[in-house]
Amino acid sequence: MDKYLIVEATADPKDAAAYTANDVVGGLLTFSLDGAVVNGGILNSAYFVDDDNEGAELDLYLFSAAPTAIADDAAFAPSAADLKKMFAVINVETTDYLTVNSLKYAYKKDINQIIKSDGGQKIYGYLVAVGTPTYAADKTILIRLSIVSER
């Protein structure tokens, strides 16, 4: 029987200066699955809420096990071992964003990527700047993933 699961994490930019292209925004993301993805699943969609209204192009890299830690505003430079854990890259372009009440959000659907998590407990990610956005230090980027898991 399939189970529909929504998991989320928040990227919290700490540096109010402009990010350089290929910098990590907010550090390592952890999506807790609470044991729901036991035998794997399918990542259906991703929803992004940018409460700083930047609408910047970003790449979300997803990993089945914890990758090497990379700090906020540091260059995204995964090791070969980390790349073996990676199962998806989701690009959010500036044209993907819509605006409501002066806030930007983007919805990426039909991703349909097979996933296997770290013992059925967690998925990890890095949000990486494609351009050079400047986020206020008190703003966040919410990432919500929709998963169909095997039960």
Range of the domain at 29: 2-150
Cα(4)–Cα(130) distance, integer angstroms: 31
Query: Where does the pLDDT of residue 1 fall: very low under 50, low under 70, confident under 90, or very high at 90 and above?
Result: very low
- The pair of structure tokens assigned to 127 is 């949000």
**Mean pLDDT, the chain, as a whole number?**
89
Query: Where does the pLDDT of residue 83 fall: very low under 50, low under 70, confident under 90, or very high at 90 and above?
Result: very high
CATH of the domain at 79: 2.60.120
Q: Which of 30-39, 63-72, 79-88 has the lowest mean pLDDT?
A: 30-39
- The pair of structure tokens assigned to 122 is 């967690």
- The pair of structure tokens assigned to 109 is 């659907």
Structural domains counted in the chain: 1
Cα(105)–Cα(89) distance, integer angstroms: 18
pLDDT 10s digits, 98-114: 999 989 999 999 999 98
- The pair of structure tokens assigned to 108 is 């990426």
